[in-house]
Amino acid sequence: MYRLLKILFLLVFFFAFLISPAKADENLTSDYQVTAEAKTDRTMHFTYNISLKNNTSEIYASSYSMILDRMNPANIKAFDSVGPLDAVVTNQNSQAKITVNFSRPVVGKDKILSFTLNYDAVDSIKKSGQAWEVMIPKLSDSAQINNYHLVLKIPSSFGKPAYLSPDPFSKMEINGFQIYEFNKNQLSQFGILGAFGNFQIFNFTLIYHLSNPLKSNISTQIALPPDTAYQIMTFQSLEPKPINVEQDNDGNWLATYFLNKGQKLDVIAKGRVQIISQPNLDFQMNEPFVDKQEYLKPQKYWEVDDQQIINLAQQLKTPEKIYDYVVKTLKYDYGKLEVKRERMGARAVLNNPDQAICTEFSDLFIALARAAGIPARELTGYSYTDNPQNKPLSLNQDILHAWPEYWDESLNIWKQVDPTWENTTGVIDFFHNMDLNHFVFAIHGLDSEKPLPAGAYKTSNQNTRDIDITFGKYLEGPNLDLEFIFNLPKKVYSEFKTNGSIQIENTGGEAVYNKDFLIETDQFTLLSLNQKHLNVIPPYGTISLPIAFKSQKLIWEGVGSINGKINNQSYEYKIRVSSFIVLFTKAILLIAAVFLFVVFLLKIYIKFSKSDTINP
């Protein structure tokens, strides 16, 4: 995404005496105090306070030149203690050369010429969605510079750094600015690259093509992008609606659909994702409980039991050393982006390190980590890049990328890293900090291939683009939207136990986490648990809770209720209660009454019959 720019500092010297020319670093001592201040108008204002000290009495500087590669400086000003200096800029090809002509010579050994150079650069800062990206070139010919100190000033309104490379030797926040300091040693090898922002927002449209070629009906599942410690999902629509959405043991959200024989169905998911650079340390409470030993086992492409991998893992031992080894050992094969290729796996890429793409970087990290006793798994999804050369993607109809994550015991969280992009950029540290551009579609831990991520659900011979991602804006999430379905009879008998269930349906587009569901009754005694902790209900997902109860009184008739409470919301279901004993008694009494009435009628009949016989 970033192109490293080179700044060449050229000193042009006037020789007062006819002597042999000397190198700049032999005849002058240079000191640079530089301030780079980011502006909200997307410009970077540079201030160079430069001091040139004469090391001899024969040579002094008459002018100063700075060459900027692929930069367009504006508002150039130079001055010294006396007043303004003549500053001229010339452009040639992709370079801009600033020349400052000094108005008065400073002659004599140990004499110092001090001046200030200011300019604005629009190439050093840009805004991508909700994130500000900063780029300051590295030093070139740093041997000619004796001392170099740079202060980077970032408005606090930009947000916290998602990543900043190299790591500054000093950082503080003063008067609405984040202040970062760097020295010559840090900037001699790499420039400053950083992204600032508390989060990034992407809008998405994902299309899943489903088909049933069988002669019988089937149910099938698709993987919706899930919440992770780094991303928060909001679905605006999912059409058609699934039968249910469930969370699997890796944390994937699986939507179930029913297909008739021969049926084809396109499912369209729309929404937005909020991505954060530092993991939400509380998210582990939402993770499915899976024994972490499961994430140490070999899988296809993760040959944990291979002796070569075992030997390497025993040498490397830690996640960071494994990461560094993968970054430095493998070489990205850009030629594979243009053709459909087979996934190699960890063992094969060790033997062919120059044939790697993102899946191989991930597979090798995961295999080595697991062999070292570190739980690890793969993430597949979308990663935004505006420079495919520095941050390449696997392009096969849709933009997909793969990167690993490992279980950090100290933080008790799955921590994402990206060895591929650190390898291809060469400057960004993707181990200690993730950027705001990685959007997870699917998690592969218990299975190295399933579920398929969005973009991979295509029918035969289909060549379509099914992923559309754009920058979005932050919007408040929807309110908690739950519906209760009481699968209970309308009428029960007080003498008997009643079984049923309560379904809690999340009709909204965001997951519901860590809610306590409380069941209360009126006129009933619960025979099942009266409280249930709901770890997660995915968007459009349903959870069914069994319930058993009976009347508090053995013989009672009236109206009772089952009440469900969650998140200060209460839902009531009324049930009419009858007594079997009362009904039975009433039936007996009715039968007895009928019998007595019949007997009474018979007696009357017999009586009148006898009367008619006596009186003919």
Nearest 5°: the CA angle 239, 510, 546 is: 90
Mean pLDDT, range 168-195, rounded to an integer: 90
Q: How confident is the model at residue 547 (pLDDT cuts 50, 70, 90)?
A: very high
SS (H, E, C) 530-585: CEEEEEEECCCCEEEEEEEEEECCCCCCEEEEEEEEECCEEEEEEEEEECHHHHHH
Under 8 Å between Cβ of 382 and 437:
no
Pairing of strands 44-54, 28-38: antiparallel
Nearest 5°: the CA angle 413, 431, 454 is: 70
State how far the Cα of 555 lies from the Cα of 495, in Å rounded to an integer.
Answer: 7
Under 8 Å between Cβ of 283 and 536:
no
| DSSP letters for 59-97 | EEEEEEEEEEET--EEEEEEE-SSSEEEEEEEEETTEEE
DSSP type of residue 477: P
Q: How confident is the model at residue 18 (pLDDT cuts 50, 70, 90)?
A: very low
pTM above 0.85, yes or no: no
Residue 509 has pLDDT above 60, yes or no: yes
The whole-number pLDDT of residue 400 equals: 87
| DSSP letters for 242-253 | PSEEEE-TTS-E
Residue 23 has pLDDT above 80, yes or no: no
The whole-number pLDDT of residue 28 equals: 82
SS (H, E, C) 265-324: EEEEEEEEEEECCCCCCCHHHHCCCCCHHHHHCCECCECCCCHHHHHHHHHHCCHHHHHH
| Range 430-434 contact pairs with CB under 8 angstroms and sequence separation of 24 or more | 430/163, 431/319, 431/320, 431/323, 431/324, 433/161, 433/162, 433/163, 433/164, 433/277, 433/278, 434/162, 434/163, 434/230, 434/277
Q: How confident is the model at residue 17 (pLDDT cuts 50, 70, 90)?
A: very low
Mean pLDDT, range 482-501, rounded to an integer: 93
Up-side HSE of residue 205: CA atoms within 13 Å toward CB?
A: 6
The whole-number pLDDT of residue 615 equals: 55
Of all residues in the chain, the percent with pLDDT exceeding 90 is: 57
Bigger pLDDT: 380 vs 570: 380
Residue 16 has pLDDT above 60, yes or no: no
Residue 7 has pLDDT above 60, yes or no: no
The whole-number pLDDT of residue 141 equals: 65
Nearest 5°: the CA angle 535, 536, 541 is: 145
Q: How confident is the model at residue 26 (pLDDT cuts 50, 70, 90)?
A: low
The pLDDT tens digits of the residues spanning 411-452 come to 899 999 999 998 888 767 889 888 888 999 999 999 999 999
Residues 6+ apart with CB under 8 A from 63: 12, 99, 100, 101, 102
Residue 129 has pLDDT above 70, yes or no: yes
State how far the Cα of 319 lies from the Cα of 375, in Å rounded to an integer.
Answer: 10
Of all residues in the chain, the percent with pLDDT exceeding 70 is: 90
Under 8 Å between Cβ of 145 and 188:
no
The pLDDT tens digits of the residues spanning 247-270 come to 999 999 999 999 999 999 999 999
State how far the Cα of 139 lies from the Cα of 148, in Å rounded to an integer.
Answer: 9
The pLDDT tens digits of the residues spanning 458-488 come to 887 777 889 999 999 888 766 678 888 999 9
C-alpha 588: how far from its chain's center?
70
Nearest 5°: the CA angle 225, 228, 232 is: 70
Q: How confident is the model at residue 616 (pLDDT cuts 50, 70, 90)?
A: low
State how far the Cα of 485 lies from the Cα of 502, in Å rounded to an integer.
Answer: 6
Under 8 Å between Cβ of 570 and 519:
no
Bigger pLDDT: 581 vs 456: 456
Bigger pLDDT: 282 vs 563: 563
- Cα torsion at 551, 553, 555, 558 (round to 10°)? -60
Q: How confident is the model at residue 12 (pLDDT cuts 50, 70, 90)?
A: very low
The pLDDT tens digits of the residues spanning 51-89 come to 998 888 887 788 888 887 767 899 999 999 999 999 999
State how far the Cα of 199 lies from the Cα of 160, in Å rounded to an integer.
Answer: 9
Cis peptide before 166 (omega within 30 of 0): yes
Amino acid at 52: L
Bigger pLDDT: 50 vs 433: 50
The whole-number pLDDT of residue 19 equals: 22
The whole-number pLDDT of residue 2 equals: 30
State how far the Cα of 87 lies from the Cα of 78, in Å rounded to an integer.
Answer: 6
